[in-house]
Structure 1
Amino acid sequence: MKTLAAENLTLAYGNRTVIQDLDITIPEGKVTVFIGSNGCGKSTLLRSLARLLKPAGGSVILDGQSISHLSTKEVARRLAILPQTTGAPEGLSVLQLVKQGRYPYQSWLQQWSEEDENMVRWALEATQLTELAERPVDALSGGQRQRAWIAMVLAQGTNALLLDEPTTYLDMTHQIEVLDILAELNRSQKRTIVMVLHDINLACRYADHIVALQNQNVFAEGRPEDIITEQLVRSVFHLDCRIINDPLYGTPMCVPYSKHRNRNAS
């Protein structure tokens, strides 16, 4: 059974087609990263997989069913998405934000439960935010704020997490901090994680499976060491580079050429 997949998927904004007849299956229990040049449809595809964008054609499959046939709460119990742009009401505490992740489980008949409390406590611990639980979200640093939003999606308790550029606007230290949290979650609980990342070297370091998008479809997909080549970077990003092994992790590492910067030039 396909946990999360797209079949013959076409996505468009008005008359502009962004994704055309795309087929993809997200590997279960792995970290998948979408890469590609700006405007290639990475975020659009991610939003469609979470049912935030209605397809112009084809379908998204979640746990063997068309996602369009599931209720909003049912989808939210099976997958969680963290959009690229987030914002919390002024004064909202970290704890209050994380509690929002339990919304899919609330109803007139089922109010706040011990399981809800345990999931919120675990999400705070997993993101190292327990001591900041009462602090307003808008008083946090950029890295802390991103961890708070990740804690909220963790509190949903879903098997699949979709994150749209979770490292955007973060400095290098906080980028690694956020990606390490997600990698540990994948390793320890086998959660399926799908991310959009701009940094190809971070994508190679953290991904089990990379999907490179170009020309409204999948250009290549597979393990980083199998698909990331100088030709792929040239075709997808229009960039000349050298691919070497990361000296620490052995994963592919992209070193771009520069026509106007050569320290060794006479």
Structure 2
Amino acid sequence: MHALETKDLKLSYGDSLIIDELNLHIPKGEITVFIGGNGCGKSTLLRSMARLLKPQQGSVLLEGHSISRLATKEVAKKLAILPQGPIAPEGLTVLQLVKQGRYPYQSWLKQWTEEDERVVNNALQSTRMEELADKPVDSLSGGQRQRAWIAMTLAQQTEIILLDEPTTYLDMTHQIEILDLLFELNEKEKRTIIMVLHDLNLACRYAHHIVAIKDKKIFAEGKPEHVINCDLVKNVFDMNCEVTIDPLFGTPLCIPHGKGRCILNRVGV
């Protein structure tokens, strides 16, 4: 069974059609990355798969069931989403934020339990945020804030985690830190990770499955080594490039054409 599916999905904002009759299957227990040019509908598709955007037509299936017919708390126990640039209320601590991940499991009959405490502590440990638990979220660095929000999604204990550009505005060190964390969650706990990334080379390094979106539809999908090539980059991003092999990981490595200081073949170099 697939983790998530879309059937004849059509998405729009007002009169603008964003996604048109899209059929997609997300592999369970793998990392899937959406790629494509700005405005192609990657984030819109992610939001619809988390039931944050109602389809104009078609449906999203969560483990074979129409997500629109499931109770909100039932969805929240199976699927967590981290939107782009989330903002915590002023003064909210990391611990308070992470505890909000347990909301789907609370009711007037079932209050905070030792199990909730254990799950929250594990989420803090997994994201290496224990020492920052009492710090206000808005006082943290960009990478620390992302780890705090990921800790909250972990506290939901969902098998599926969706992330919209989780490395945006982060420096190179923190980008790798966040992606390594997500990779470890997939490797150790078999979480299904679905995310939007702009960096094609990082997408190739971390993804088991890549979905390239263009003209409201899927242009190509599959393993990065099977689908990423010069023709795809030209068609999807309108950019000329060379695609070679990453010397560390063996994954596709995109080298864009363009202007810059070239030191090749210079006398004395």
Opposite residue 192 of structure 1, the aligned amino acid is T
Match of 1:215 in 2: 215
Aligned length: 266
Q: Which amino acid aligns with 1:149?
A: W
1:24 alignment partner in structure 2: 24
| Partner-residue secondary structure (3-state), 1:162 | strand
Unaligned residue ranges in structure 2 (runs of 5+)? none
Once the two structures are overlaid, the 10-residue window that deviates more, 1-10 or 76-85, is 1-10
Once the two structures are overlaid, the 10-residue window that deviates more, 3-12 or 251-260, is 251-260
SS of structure 1 residue aligned to 2:5? strand
Secondary structure, counterpart of 2:77 in structure 1: helix
Residue in structure 1 matched with residue 56 of structure 2 by the alignment: 56
Deviation at 1:259, TM superposition (A): 4.2
Amino acid at match of 2:38: N
Give the whole-Å Cα distance in 2 for the aligned partners of 1:212 and 1:80: 23
Residue equivalent to 2:150: 150
Aligned to 1:184: 184
SS at match of 1:22: strand
CA contact (8 A) 2:210 2:222 kept: yes
C-alpha distance in 2, partners of 1:129/1:250?
A: 32
Cα distance in structure 2, aligned partners of 1:95 and 1:121 = 9
Map Cα deviations across residues 54-97 of structure 1 (whole Å, 9 max, x no partner). 00000000011100001111111110000002111111110000
Given the alignment of the two structures, is residue 125 of structure 1 paired with residue 125 of structure 2, yes or no? yes
Deviates more, 1:108-117 or 1:177-186: 108-117
> 1: CA distance between counterparts of 2:106 and 2:5?
28
Distance in 2 of aligned mates of 1:107 and 1:234: 52
Question: Shift in Å at residue 2 of structure 1?
Answer: 3.2
The answer to whether 1:47 aligns with 2:47 is yes
Within 5 Å, give how 1:187-266 maps onto structure 2. 187-259=187-259, 261-264=261-264
Distance 2:2 2:264 in 1: 53
Match of 1:141 in 2: 141
Q: Distance in 1 between matches of 2:249 and 2:87?
A: 35
Q: Which residue of 2 aligns with 1:90?
A: 90
Alpha-carbon displacement from aligned partner over 1:12-49 (angstroms, at most 9, x marks no partner): 00110000000001000000000000000000000000
C-alpha displacement of 1:3: 2.5
Asked whether the equivalents of residues 3 and 192 of structure 2 are also in contact (C-alpha less than 8 Å), the reply is: no
Worse-matched range after superposition: 1-10 or 52-61: 1-10
Please name the residue that 2:171 is paired with.
Answer: 171
> What is the SS of the residue equivalent to 1:220?
strand
Partner Cα separation in structure 2 for residue 88 and residue 140 of structure 1: 11
1:113, distance to aligned residue in structure 2 (A): 1.2
Question: Which amino acid counterpart does residue 207 of structure 1 have in structure 2?
Answer: A
Whether the 8 Å CA contact 2:29–2:191 is kept in 1: the answer is yes
Partners of 2:28 and 2:71 in 1: CA distance: 22
Instruction: Calculate the aligned-residue CA RMSD, in Å.
Output: 1.1
Aligned residues: percent identity? 64
Distance 2:79 2:106 in 1: 16
Deviation at residue 101 of structure 1 after TM alignment = 0.5
Query: TM-score, normalised to structure 2's length?
Result: 0.97
Distance 1:177 1:221 in 2: 26
Q: Secondary structure at the match of 1:9?
A: strand
